Copies of this chain bind each other. A is one copy, B any other.
């Protein structure tokens, strides 16, 4: 298994506090020592950092802990390999361009028979089930739409693809088109939104406490999604299996699959 970390915010936001916890789980407070990666968006621009080594002992991860990269969308992953050898090409997140947007994907879980799903024009570079699932999703979106659809339309399409993959096994996933961050809960995923009035938070994995009131303005809205809670004194909400979050500017829409045949239900979620 692996662990995921995603962030969606309405202002460029420094992820270092949350990333510090995730990075320690890559071989220190967690067993995910087979590689790590993090992707940052600045508008439509995207850059990623990858290493097929434990993040807890990585000089590059340490560098990123000490460097403020402010971003409105972040996708990060620490890997415990099950399918696909430990190598750079198998290190999440994966990125593809479609319709002039950089799309980024990270996954934890196992998907039985996913490699039998037929691909379109997107092909895995590595050998993981995860990259195959991503390429399948991208191919399906490319086949269905002629260009980037309206956000609400894409929300439903992504939720539909997630439901198909969910049926194959465990599909905890983060995906973004540089505009919306999607999170699908296959088995385990939780989230929280930080907004005014801001409080303090302390990491579970190390002794780091932040007073967000000192770091933010009243208008900031920041939602963080993670496999497991990263802080011990905030209110994290668990997602149910099959739930999809669509996050734009930190604002949450919860897409909960309906009963068989029924339409999915979309709910605007207030912070707890």
Interface majority SS (helix, strand, loop, mixed), chain A: mixed
| Contacting residue for A97 out of B48, B60, B88, B125, CB 8 A | B125
Give Cα distance in the complex from A126 to B47, angstroms.
Answer: 13
* CB-nearest residue of chain B to A47: B50
Q: When each residue 87-109 of chain A gets 1 if its CB lies under 8 Å from chain B and 0 otherwise, what string results?
A: 11111000111111110000000
* With A121-B121, A125-B102 as contacts: A49 and B46 at CB distance below 8 Å: no
| Contacting residue for A49 out of B47, B91, B95, B123, CB 8 A | B47
Which of chain B's residues have a CB closer than 8 A to the CB of A45? Answer: 52, 87-91, 125-126
**A257 at interface by CB-CB < 8 Å:** no
Whether the Cβ atoms of B42 and A87 lie closer than 8 Å is yes
Which of chain B's residues have a CB closer than 8 A to the CB of A44? Answer: 89, 125-126
Whether the Cβ atoms of B125 and A42 lie closer than 8 Å is no
* With A49-B47, A49-B49, A59-B67 as contacts: A101 and B125 at CB distance below 8 Å: yes
Number of copies: 2
Whether the Cβ atoms of A123 and B100 lie closer than 8 Å is yes
- How many chain A residues touch B (CB < 8 A): the figure is 35
* With A67-B60, A88-B45 as contacts: A97 and B100 at CB distance below 8 Å: no
Q: When each residue 111-124 of chain A gets 1 if its CB lies under 8 Å from chain B and 0 otherwise, what string results?
A: 00000000001111
Residue picked from A45, A87, A96, A126, most chain B C-beta under 10 Å: A45
Nearest 3 Cβ contacts at the A-B interface: A45-B88, A45-B89, A100-B123
Q: A residues near B, CB below 8 A? A: 42-52, 59-60, 63, 67, 87-91, 95-102, 121-126, 142
